[in-house]
A and B are shown apart, each in its own frame.
Chain A
């Protein structure tokens, strides 16, 4: 039971929200530089206006609620839930001004999709979009994937408040003893990979014939959306645009790296290479990818007479990796799923999307660690059945360190796994009620809630507004992993009569 919020709680919440909105004001200035480089003056002005709006709102809130105090868990969870919605509304503002969206709702959808690193899009005529707006779409993926509050952690928060806000955003692992150091490490890893892969992809693009000014822009955007498992692309055809096997391989590598736990990254960066062999979550992740590719591939080629095995394998494996890591990059198109994928193989792709990547990574979905815990619990139950009555069995696994599994961990994991499954199904049922075939609407709902971004074509500007709102909510709760949302609901009730 979550206790009622007091007036003091509310003051703390609004104070920190104000600070995070100010942080967004600074982030809006980054695309201004892109606009200046590409001489898109009018577009740059849109971001200056957005930045000033954020500064006004942010400073107004901290003017009204100036007291800075340590926050409790409820406040941290509520701040996280609200700030994601605020960032969505404000982040959508320049997108709406771009004229590439039918309504503000559509730009909010795109904004949430980017921030939650989903990758479902409602943009029109993306191929003629200005560099500044296109950069902002991808930059939002980067901000959201790293974690909005992770940005704030580096600027504003200290001590215990920092850790609570960090957990509220769906991350539990403290890689380093101090959470601000953890945030710095996550940013350090991301920036290093950003430099390496932007250069690699940029030079490959040049070799493919793309002029340097566009080649590196594409490379930067592809990395930001790939590493943060968002799956946005610069062109409407997504990765298919490049018609390149090597780009397929490199993007697959980026998304797998993005879907690995930052804890594992830290171990490797500090020279503990054996962690790769010992890490339980990584083992489960790789086994799951291989099994799902195998079953999906069987379903894909079954009954096809003129199948080319290599082509089929390339397409199936790319989509399973894309779905499992939660990136949503595609080397085909939505009609390909309808015409070439059997229901059997689509079902395995849905499972891949639903499972998601590793914990404390940029990917969404249930997460491999929870699946691993679930499997360990099954193993423990079987052992207990076949052991003498008084035997106490303790299961352990290795994830950065040796961990003994507690009942509390199992309980939390099962609740979150169930919440994900219920949300996937609910979204599927709503889609089905609105007239879409159930399998397709389950596909789209899972893609939204697990923050994947693959689509069978339901997501488009002409889809019903109610479904757009449903998917926005799914993306939001899927990214924050439910607990923060429950606290947020309690907060809404508290607004009427705070204690």
Chain B
């Protein structure tokens, strides 16, 4: 009885084992993870989109350029405060869900249907470069050069006429 219970537990665990994988790996070894439970971590970028009760977010690897669409519930979407874009670091989240290389429900898209998401690290404002002094000096020098050349050009064309 005890043995069969352990086998049952192992079976359940095996079916519902969530592997932490890189988003890049979901692209490179798509077949291996297709329709299987996975855990990914990454930055939420762009916007939260979608219908009333089903939202789309895009999650991008912190190191790397791979991003994937994740379908989340409205409640989970509300947990996200910062969306990655210029000047903003998005929240870093952990997504537990089922990965699809070609999701039938969403017209063949590669996506993850989230079961649970959690915020690992809050994002926030990123330092935006202030106007640099060297650029201002370059602008004024160039302005002077341009003015001088235009002046010389007009003098030359007048003399040619």
Please give the residue numbers on chain A whose beta carbons come within 8 Å of chain B beta carbons, in ascending order: 40-42, 45-46, 48-49, 52-53, 55-56, 59-60, 62-63, 66-67, 124-131, 208-211, 214, 235-237, 240-245, 308, 310-312, 314-315, 331-333, 335-336, 339-340
Contacts and interface: CB of A to CB of B under 8 A. Distances in A.
B16 interface: no
B65 A241 contact: no
Interface stretch (B3-11, B91-99, B113-121, B145-153): B145-153
B31 to A, nearest CB: 7
Contact of A332 (B28, B110, B130, B146): B110
Contact of B152 (A41, A52, A63, A235): A63
A335 B86 contact: no
Contacts of B110: 240, 332-333, 336
Interface residues of B, number: 52
Main secondary structure of the interface of A (DSSP, over half): helix
Contact of A129 (B86, B104, B132): B86
A42 B58 CA distance: 28
Contacts of B14: none
Given A49-B139, A310-B107, A41 B153 contact: no
Main secondary structure of the interface of B (DSSP, over half): mixed
Nearest to A243: B56
Nearest to B28: A335
A22 B60 CA distance: 40
A335 B50 CA distance: 25
Given A214-B47, A311-B107, A335-B28, A240 B69 contact: yes
Contact of B131 (A42, A332, A340): A42
A210 B58 CA distance: 13
A320 B49 CA distance: 27
B45 A235 contact: yes
Nearest to B106: A243
A339 to B, nearest CB: 5
Given A66-B153, A339-B30, A127 B85 contact: yes
Contacts of B157: 66
A59 B27 contact: no
Contact of A243 (B31, B85, B109, B139): B109
A331 B106 CA distance: 12
Contact of B67 (A46, A60, A127): A127
B131 A59 contact: no
Centre residue among B84, B103, B108 by max chain A CB count within 10 A: B108
16 contacts: A41-B130, A49-B142, A52-B139, A63-B149, A127-B60, A128-B126, A209-B49, A209-B55, A210-B47, A237-B69, A241-B69, A310-B107, A311-B104, A311-B107, A332-B109, A333-B110
Contacts of A209: 47-50, 55
A235 B58 contact: yes
B22 to A, nearest CB: 13
